[in-house]
Amino acid sequence: MAVRGIRGAITVEVNEKEPMLQATLELLNEIVQQNGIVPDDIASVFITVTQDLDATFPAIAIRQMGGWDLVPLMCALEVPVKGSLERCIRFMIHLNTEKSQAEINHVYLGGARVLRPDLSKS
């Protein structure tokens, strides 16, 4: 069994708690669905936000999901590069899996599709 990384990102319209939590859940649920993930297979989740998102910790939304209370979560600020995508939440999920790299589905939603158009589904 290998540890694979699953990338994902989503943008939010405003720096407010509820939209940030909703976007976090939308992104995580899509990653879980596309990759057939169960929480016990997760090694850890690293979450970053751009510096213009400071209304809440995205991990709060994940902690409220059934079965996710023991998954190690870490939030951090994204590197503030001039001209980079604003109001963006990014995930790096470390998954214990038998899947190959090519079988992993990375998920980019909303305005974050511009980050990896090669991986974004329409």
Task: List residues with catalytic annotation.
Answer: 7, 63, 75, 78, 90, 108, 116
Q: Are 1 and 100 in contact (CB under 8 A)?
A: no
What does the block give as tokens for 74? 């870490």
Q: Rounded distance, CA 10 to CA 113, Å?
A: 8
